[in-house]
A = this chain, B = another copy of it.
Amino acid sequence: MSRFDRRPTYDKILMGPGPSTVDPRVLRAMAEPAMGYFDEDFLSILSETRELLRYVFQTKNELTLAISGTGTAGMETALSNLIEPGDRVLICVHGFFGNRMVEIAQRYGAEVKVLSSPWGEPIYPDVLEKELKAFGKVKLVGIVHAETSTGVLQPLDEIARIVHESDAFLVVDAVTSLGGVEVPTDRLSLDVVYSGTQKCLSCPPGLAPITVGAKAADYIRNRAKKVGNFYLDLSIVEKYWDGGKVYHHTPSMNLIYALNEALRIVAEEGIENRWRRHELNAKALASGLEAMGLELLVKPQYRLPPLTTIKVPDGIDEAMVRKRLMSEYRLEIGAGLGELKGKIWRVGLMGSTSTARNVLTFLSAFGGILRSMGFKAHVEDGLEAAFKVLEGGCR
């Protein structure tokens, strides 16, 4: 089978929109042998993993577990478990993943009202309040906390207040925020929050952590009509996670080992320290980029620390820059998605990838490439600005 012999290169710095770099401890944990899905040893790993998930979600929610699929499966779990055909829902769209929520809600028969903001901006609470009043009672409101397509961190405090006053469920996409910025599940009584593993938790992709508040859990356990799918039906999945009471499907033990170890690393660092680290490195990156002469897509107060979006300067071939970063430095960054395709770069500083070393490596490599392509990047100014932030610490 000589045609199968070529091996790829794995030593890449993953500064795209995810996956982020995985700690070798996590890779080793993942490579332990699988075991039976009712094995007591495995059930105790599951139980510990739930406890650690509650810690990163900052919640006491009983219904907290990881779905056997990626972040999109988490989104579909959240929406499909709450929606019944004909339900009226309101989805906030300020990027690619808001649109995806609309698409999924429609497939489960919801009557969907869309509230849009321009890509690169957040959803504004006063607009939401007005729309909710105009549209009338909805069953749920869906919103993306960390828009991976734009780099916007959506403030949630006001949004949560407004949605709860309207008595709707609030479903929050925390795929790119969990483990990197505060996800205020209990503080704001968010009803359902889901995420992915390959972003700020720095675990390989394949699982979708999800947490469900008591009111939503109660609804899901007692809904009259069954969920529109089987694989993501939380009322059954939770019975398996609850000490292996029933068989629903064979979970990926190896991915659970990995998630468990990744969450232990988060707990060892301390979640608040981790948020501060993400904030500090993102600020260093942003200052460096601006000092170099580049423009960021998002206003400072709405920036998402794990993901920075840079406007492509006029006359620069954005794909060529990414290609050169990969071929010359084995460094991956992301392209724009959807309507921002070709207009921005997306630079991730997520989980283990969020280091001062990566900030400097990226600034110098990126600046050097831009300069050689004719853009006057002030590389030294950029590095100086980054140093200043890094030395100052966070604020």
Contacts and interface: CB of A to CB of B under 8 A. Distances in A.
Interface of A: 1, 4, 6, 8-12, 14, 16, 18-19, 21-22, 27-28, 30-37, 39, 41-42, 44-45, 48, 52, 68-73, 76, 80, 100, 103-104, 107-108, 196, 198, 204-206, 226-232, 247-255, 258, 264, 267-268, 326, 332, 334, 337
Contacts of A258: 254
Give the dominant DSSP class at A's interface. loop
Given A42-B8, A206-B255, A250-B205, A231 B69 contact: yes
A189 to B, nearest CB: 27
Contacts of A108: 228
Nearest to A248: B72
A8 B35 CA distance: 10
A107 B45 contact: no
Contacts of A72: 230-231, 248-250
A19 B34 contact: yes
Given A14-B36, A36-B14, A44-B8, A19 B70 contact: no
8 contacts: A1-B267, A19-B35, A30-B30, A30-B31, A39-B326, A68-B206, A69-B231, A206-B254
Contacts of A35: 8, 10, 12, 14, 19, 332
B16 A36 contact: yes
A252 B206 contact: yes
Contact of A204 (B6, B34, B267, B268): B34
Contacts of A30: 30-31, 254
A30 B253 CA distance: 13
The interface centre, meaning the residue of A21, A80, A249, A267 with most chain B CB atoms within 10 A of its CB, is: A249
Chain copies in the assembled complex: 2
A244 to B, nearest CB: 12
A240 to B, nearest CB: 12
A205 B264 contact: no
Given A14-B34, A27-B32, A72-B230, 18 more contacts: A1-B267, A6-B44, A8-B45, A16-B36, A19-B250, A34-B205, A39-B326, A39-B332, A68-B69, A68-B70, A69-B69, A71-B249, A80-B229, A107-B228, A228-B228, A231-B232, A247-B337, A255-B255
A73 B70 CA distance: 12
A354 to B, nearest CB: 16
A111 to B, nearest CB: 16
A230 B104 contact: yes
A128 to B, nearest CB: 24
Contacts of A36: 12, 14, 16, 19, 332, 334
A108 B229 CA distance: 7
A6 B76 CA distance: 34
A76 B249 CA distance: 12
A42 B268 CA distance: 32
